[in-house]
Chain A
Amino acid sequence: SAVISQKPSRDICQRGTSLTIQCQVDSQVTMMFWYRQQPGQSLTLIATANQGSEATYESGFVIDKFPISRPNLTFSTLTVSNMSPEDSSIYLCSVGTGEGYTFGSGTRLTVV
């Protein structure tokens, strides 16, 4: 199955700033997915990133707040913009791997 390298693993950021999270996959994949896991909660899909087209956002998530890049078939970034404490979460990327889905190691974001 695919191996995903996600970074940073954690960060503490000031409110009003932005953080870009990167995911690198060891094989080419058509779609990459970005999830948010708020403290003590389950995972919620933020958006699906396809190479060569704009990301598709789920209800409640907008491009201005979570811009995504997908420059090639092995790499994607998610930016959390103009952060507030409510954005403190774990952010994970994911890719499909034949039968299932593999997740990156996650980025634990704390906004102060």
Chain B
Amino acid sequence: ELKVEQNPLFLSMQEGKNYTIYCNYSTTSDRLYWYRQDPGKSLESLFVLLSNGAVKQEGRLMASLDTKARLSTLHITAAVHDLSATYFCAVDLGSQGNLIFGKGTKLSVKP
């Protein structure tokens, strides 16, 4: 059974600080996704990582994928309050489109 483990599950940061969210998964997959969810809202796609060594950056967020270690990271640089949300990683099991989600990391950025 595929397991996707995110940590931390809760993260309280001060503005301007850096932090990394980790996503470990238990089986082979070359496709990993990061989503953002604001309270009461749907999921917004942040990053699509499709190969080993993939690194993508958008603003203060950078995501990477190491398929050999079965690990993805979401790095936050100089956090701002607008980044407060829940972040999910999801692993794609293949052509059937069955995404297995981590439990999510609830990020709170305080002034």
Chain A residues engaging chain B, CB cutoff 8 angstroms: 1, 31, 33, 41-45, 48, 58, 92, 94, 96, 99-106, 108
Asked if residues A42 and B88 are in contact (CB atoms below 8 Å), the reply is yes
Are the CB atoms of B97 and A96 closer together than 8 Å?
yes
The answer to whether A45 touches B33 (Cβ under 8 A) is: no
Asked if B69 lies at the interface with its beta carbon under 8 angstroms from chain A, I say no
Interface of A is mostly: strand
Query: Are B50 and A45 interface neighbours, CB within 8 A?
Result: no
Contact of A43 among B96, B97, B101 (CB under 8 A): B101
Q: Which residues of chain B are within 8 angstroms of A92 by Cβ–Cβ distance?
A: 42-43
A42's contact among B40, B45, B50, B101, by CB below 8 Å, is which?
Answer: B101
Evaluate whether A104 and B42 lie within 8 angstroms (CB atoms) in the complex, with A31-B97, A41-B103 already known: yes
* Set of chain A residues within 8 Å of B35, measured between Cβ atoms: 103
List 16 A–B pairs whose Cβ atoms lie within 8 Å, in order of A's numbering. A43-B90, A43-B101, A45-B98, A45-B99, A48-B98, A99-B48, A100-B45, A101-B45, A101-B97, A101-B99, A102-B45, A103-B35, A103-B42, A105-B42, A106-B41, A106-B42
Q: Which of B63-111 contact A (CB under 8 A)?
A: 88, 90, 96-99, 101-104
Closest B-chain residue to A43, C-beta based? B101
Residue of A nearest to B37 (CB): A37
Residue of B nearest to A96 (CB): B97
